[in-house]
Amino acid sequence: MSPQPIPKYIERLALQIAGEEAERARVANTLEGAQEIADRLEAESAAAGFTSVKEYIEDLTRRPEGVTPAEGTHPASAFWSHGTEHPQAPLNWNNEHFLENRYIAEAWARTQNNRVEGSAQTLETTSAGRRLNSMYLFQDQVREALGGETDGYSYTWARECWGNISQTYAEAADGPVVVFAETAHTRSILYRDELPTLHANQHVGLENINFAYSAPQGWSSEARAELGTNEVRAQVQVDDPSLPHYVDPAVYATQDPAVRRAALDAECASVTAERTARTEHAKHAETGIASGATEPDGPVPATSEVQAEEPAPRSAAHIPVWQVGFKPTPVKMETAPSGPMAESTAPPEPALGKQTSGTGLG
């Protein structure tokens, strides 16, 4: 059976959350709203002992305690990228009515927590994620109030802050995670930072990465069956043939089955090798032990008792598998005034998934 579209109750809640957030962002992007945020951040950074707001924000994005779940809870962590066109969604940076998957993920997490408290979370609902979101660093007026590009408050810097906290969030994930996207676009934080970190995270790993959406409906059945698995979509990319690990879904079915399967396996093995090397490099950088150097003198610490204990029971969170887009809502249509009045239903064009650019990429 084919996956069903995103449920109506998720759609309604996501639109509500998106509308509320759009209004807060609008206020933040006014002169008064931006100055209020800048003043607040100045006071917070000074109280915390930082010499600049920039340093204060960057520190926030790297602190694991800000994205670690409350003690005694084991939520399924949600990640997101891209979004879906929707006529009722707020206008995005490109003047399109576009519902980011962030809000669908938040609607899902809120619904799960209403059923089982502490069972799901998104980055933006963690303590540090809420704080960073409330700064509205993607708003031009806010960055200008903080000092503008001359002081380092550029759009690129804002994106780096979100990339850093996204990686910190992925490092803190534990157990099954949910990715709200059809595929991982090469320009997205999901592809560059989150998926590699989740892959290397010993408490998550490739086997615990679950895509909330099925593979794109436009792919052939062969591509959907072989490229559309969670494991493959968590590793390869399908949007930029000039970059590594590209697989073309459009021609996949025309290739010899044994040849394409072998090539896909080799591509995934290459991704795994690269991510393993990246993890090892990061470990050496953290410990100060250069690759190939001898280990320090002294006994190796034993595994802690906490690590040896049985894992705490997890809260139950339903992992969705939906077809991206929403079920069309029938609308009333009337005949011309001169004719007899009648009612009929005509569904609007279904909203399609879209891989956005700019601020739309999570």
Concatenate the DSSP letters of all residues of 278-314 into one string. Answer: HHHHHHHHHHT--TTPPPPSSPPPPPPHHHHSPPPPP
Last residue of a domain, one of 262, 287, 312: 287
What per-residue confidence (pLDDT) applies to 332?
57
Are residues 139 and 68 located together in one domain of the fold? Answer: yes
Are residues 136 and 245 located together in one domain of the fold? Answer: no
Are residues 120 and 37 located together in one domain of the fold? Answer: yes
Cα 199–Cα 203–Cα 208 angle in degrees, nearest 5: 55
What per-residue confidence (pLDDT) applies to 291?
45
Are residues 42 and 122 located together in one domain of the fold? Answer: yes
What per-residue confidence (pLDDT) applies to 72?
84
The residue type of 155 is Y
Are residues 40 and 22 located together in one domain of the fold? Answer: yes
Nearest residue to 199 via CA among 162, 161, 230, 221? 230
Tokens 């279904």 identify what position?
A: 350
Are residues 193 and 253 located together in one domain of the fold? Answer: no
Q: What are phi and psi of 323, to 5 degrees?
A: -90, 125
pLDDT, mean of each 10-residue run, the chain (362 residues): 90 98 97 98 98 98 95 93 94 91 98 95 97 98 97 97 97 96 96 96 96 96 97 97 96 97 96 85 59 44 43 72 84 50 38 37 57
pTM over 0.85: no
Are residues 85 and 229 located together in one domain of the fold? Answer: no
What is the Cα gyration radius of the chain? 23
The residue type of 192 is R
Are residues 197 and 276 located together in one domain of the fold? Answer: no
156 occurs within a structural domain? yes
What per-residue confidence (pLDDT) applies to 354?
33
Task: Mention every residue, 6+ apart, whose C-beta is less than 8 A from residue 345.
Answer: 330, 331, 332, 333
Residue 234: domain span: 223-287
Are residues 207 and 229 located together in one domain of the fold? Answer: no
Task: Mention every residue, 6+ apart, whose C-beta is less than 8 A from residue 111.
Answer: 9, 10, 13
What per-residue confidence (pLDDT) applies to 294?
44
Are residues 46 and 121 located together in one domain of the fold? Answer: yes
